Chains A and B, each alone.
Chain A
Amino acid sequence: GAVVSQHPSRVICKSGTSVKIECRSLDFQATTMFWYRQFPKQSLMLMATSNEGSKATYEQGVEKDKFLINHASLTLSTLTVTSAHPEDSSFYICSAKGGGSNTGELFFGEGSRLTVL
């Protein structure tokens, strides 16, 4: 199947700094990407939907100024956690859907584990 790659897989940062996570579709063009966050022993929580060339749509309760999403090309979306704090420590996962069939599956990245000290 198609491959979605995230980078970095693990990142540790100091409180107050910003961290950027990249999500790339390696062998297909992704018109829509989704960003999820997952806390330990919990399910994935949708944060936002990003469409190439337009602003991301954020879920209720997700601060758009804190979690900046950029989907500048059909193969790359980035999530920037600005002024990170310990409560932002989580597992961040992106997923992508190709521009073809409306019935096809989502392809997920490997996830990025953020630890804020």
Chain B
Amino acid sequence: DAKTTQPPSMDCAEGRAANLPCNHSTISGNEYVYWYRQIHSQGPQYIIHGLKNNETNEMASLIITEDRKSSTLILPHATLRDTAVYYCIAAWGTYKYIFGTGTRLKVLA
């Protein structure tokens, strides 16, 4: 799997958009970008995934650069419950999913 790199931590004010970047410069053509988050002592929760096009769902938006070497997860209106560790993964099919160190997002009141 492609190695992904993320900033170790970020702060965001409650109600503002949280933009979490991820670098995956060695991603291969058939690998998707997946985002998960983990709240303390729970299993990771799926957020969104995409291949080339930008994606949006009820939780977040995913912006993938045209060269696919990086992406940004956007939480449009962050709440205190969005405080978690966010992981970006590049993977395909049933091949193993490798977690990087993630970004610890803290939403501030």
Contacts and interface: CB of A to CB of B under 8 A. Distances in A.
B42 A110 contact: yes
Interface stretch (B21-29, B61-69, B70-78, B92-100): B92-100
A103 B100 contact: no
Interface residues of B, number: 23
Contacts of B87: 43-44
Contact of B94 (A1, A46, A91, A97): A97
A33 to B, nearest CB: 10
B92 A106 contact: no
A34 B96 contact: yes
Nearest to A107: B46
A108 B37 CA distance: 11
Contacts of A103: 32, 49, 51, 92-93
A102 interface: yes
Interface string B26-54: 00000010101010011111100101000
A7 B41 CA distance: 15
Nearest to A51: B94
Interface residues of A, number: 27
Nearest to A36: B99
Given A43-B100, A43-B102, A102 B46 contact: no
Interface of B: 32, 34, 36, 38, 41-46, 49, 51, 87, 92-94, 96-102
Interface of A: 1, 4, 6, 31-32, 34, 36, 43-46, 49, 51, 91, 93, 95, 97, 102-103, 105-111, 113
List 7 tightest A-B contacts by C-beta distance, closest first: A108-B43, A102-B93, A105-B46, A44-B99, A32-B94, A108-B44, A43-B99
